[in-house]
Amino acid sequence: MLYYVRPMRKEDIPQVNEIDREAFPTQWPLPDYRRELQNPLARLIVACELKEANSEPEPSPPPEKTRPSLAARLKRLFGRSRGEKAVPERELILGFASVWVMADEAHLTNIAVRKRYQRQGIGELLLMSIIDLANELKADFVTLEVRVSNLPAQNLYRKLGFVQTGIRPGYYTDNREDALIMSTESLTSAPFQARLQELKRAHARRYGTSALPAETTAR
């Protein structure tokens, strides 16, 4: 299966809500994604299924062949062009991620993938895309919280260069579980960018070149 990342649109909210409830059934009240799309601090992206070439005809070619880089699309769509009309066809949303950008920090607020599509590199692609977006928006580092028991998520974050920087005792309201605070080093550092680009290439080799949007420019 091939997939790609694009900015979230209001038409995606019902599917994003489905994924949210599946992934976080008791952690928080359901976020108001419509409000988040209008929040100047927030950026939301989704991973969508890319239909095969032999499937029913599409009104336009696959995104990676005609659209500009992910960073350019996000910058355009999250800027003054938020009123652009969405494409009419209903895409299958496989996962989503959201981040708040405040000064030099980008804080990952949510990331989730539909259960039946997990372990196919979608979460990794979303996280790489969030890092690229944070870099494009001139954040210096990305932070997040993760349950101490969520070892698969911690392993993914460490793979992408996050390290533990602290702990929040009793952070999760459903069971008072602690949260680890994790952060990247400076997104502009040469070692971080070199590792990120290698991870992108490895992801593309494993999951198919259509799975990964064009690389953004590193600063």
Domains and CATH numbers, the chain: 2-211 (3.40.630.30)
Stretch 86-90: mean pLDDT: 52
Give yes or no for residue 61 having a pLDDT over 60: no
Residues of 12-21 as b/e, b for ≥16 C-beta within 10 angstroms? bbebbeebbe
Q: What is the pLDDT of residue 195?
A: 96
Distance CA 159, CA 170 (A): 26
pLDDT digit string, tens, across residues 41-59: 999 999 999 875 444 444 4
Nearest residue to 199 via CA among 151, 152, 131, 150: 131
Stretch 72-89: mean pLDDT: 49
Q: How confident is the model at residue 123 (pLDDT cuts 50, 70, 90)?
A: very high
Residue with the bigger pLDDT between 47 and 88: it is 47
Distance CA 128, CA 109 (A): 15
Q: What is the mean pLDDT of the chain?
A: 83
**Catalytic annotation, residues:** 145, 157
Nearest residue to 5 via CA among 112, 107, 88, 128: 128
pLDDT digit string, tens, across residues 159-198: 999 999 999 999 988 889 999 999 999 999 999 999 999 9
Give yes or no for residue 134 having a pLDDT over 70: yes
Q: What is the pLDDT of residue 29?
A: 67
Q: What is the pLDDT of residue 89?
A: 58
Q: Worst-scoring range by mean pLDDT, 59-68, 74-83, 209-218? A: 209-218
Q: What is the pLDDT of residue 44?
A: 97
Residue with the bigger pLDDT between 103 and 66: it is 103
Whether the CB-CB separation of 163 and 182 falls below 8 Å is answered with yes
Give yes or no for residue 100 having a pLDDT over 50: yes
